[in-house]
Chain A
Amino acid sequence: MINTDQTIPCPVCQTKIPFDTKQLLMGIQFVCPNCQAAIGLAEQSKPIVEETMNKFDDLKEKLSKKSE
């Protein structure tokens, strides 16, 4: 499910483009609803984003265990 809270401003027309980081990692491109420009994650940046997202998931799991 797309987290609609996450948006990126379109570099062409500044319209907010909703995106989901996990889908970006899968290679999916998100299209600007106004100018149809498509944004995606560059191949060389995938490892660092993937590692950060894994760490973020670990943190969320750790925090939920702590608050139980």
Chain B
Amino acid sequence: MPDPQTQSFKPSFGRELNIESIISAPLVAASKANVVMVTGQTRFLLDYCFNKEEDETTYRPVMIEMSLERGIIDNTKDPSDPDYVTRAQLTFNMPLLCLVPLNSLVIDKVTVDFDMEITSVTSYDSKHGIINKQAQLNGKISNDHKDASNPNKNSSQMSSKLKVGIHAGPLPLPVGVLAILDLYTKSIQPLPSAQKPEEDSAANTVSP
């Protein structure tokens, strides 16, 4: 199998190619596209959603301020009173990371469709497994692919085809990012306020 780092894939349909090269080239291309997308997103997160500390190893998330508005019922007033329900406004901080729509697309399915005309079969020694020899199929991408839409079409007019289908789906967030989001989700939960000392002592007093 050719090394994708060093060997380029130049499809020459008239030339003999091994079957691994034909299948692996579109897969390598899809894999590279995924790496480009994920690397770009990670770099973006570190550059814009975190501030680097002076020690150059710690990243502190950039925080933003959000407002929260809700109705408060004043039970001391009559429900017909216009001030029975008042709007209370408060602010809370959350990481900027939570607002960036990180669920980007990623290639999750690649289909490679081609007809191959086997021209030679060779074998090579297998280094792994129980089989001593493994077959190596070589051939050309066939150009006599039947055209279902036009069965009368002369096959010589058809060109050799390697059809690659790509399906992109949403990328699940990495575990690390989910952990950060979960931490901050928990940190914005309200806590019961500490009771005042007078109230504490009053609560502990047992009335006769």
Contacts and interface: CB of A to CB of B under 8 A. Distances in A.
8 contacts: A37-B69, A39-B66, A41-B66, A55-B48, A56-B44, A59-B41, A59-B44, A67-B37
Interface of A: 3, 5-6, 8-9, 11-12, 14, 21, 24, 29, 35-42, 44-45, 48-49, 52-53, 55-56, 59-60, 62-63, 66-67
Contact of B96 (A49, A63, A66): A49
A59 to B, nearest CB: 5
* Chain B residues touching A, majority SS: mixed
Contacts of B103: 3, 5-6
Interface string B112-123: 000000000000
B162 interface: no
Nearest to B47: A55
A11 B189 contact: yes
A42 B67 contact: yes
Contact of B91 (A42, A55, A56): A42
Contacts of A63: 36-37, 40
Contacts of A45: 64-66
B64 A41 contact: yes
B190 A11 contact: yes
Nearest to B170: A5
A56 B40 contact: no
A9 B187 CA distance: 11
Contacts of A62: 40
Contacts of B189: 9, 11, 14
Most buried by A among B69, B99, B188: B99
A17 B207 CA distance: 46
Interface in B109-149: none
A39 B40 CA distance: 30
B151 interface: no
Given A41-B64, A66-B36, A3 B101 contact: yes
Given A24-B99, A52-B100, A67-B37, A12 B64 contact: no
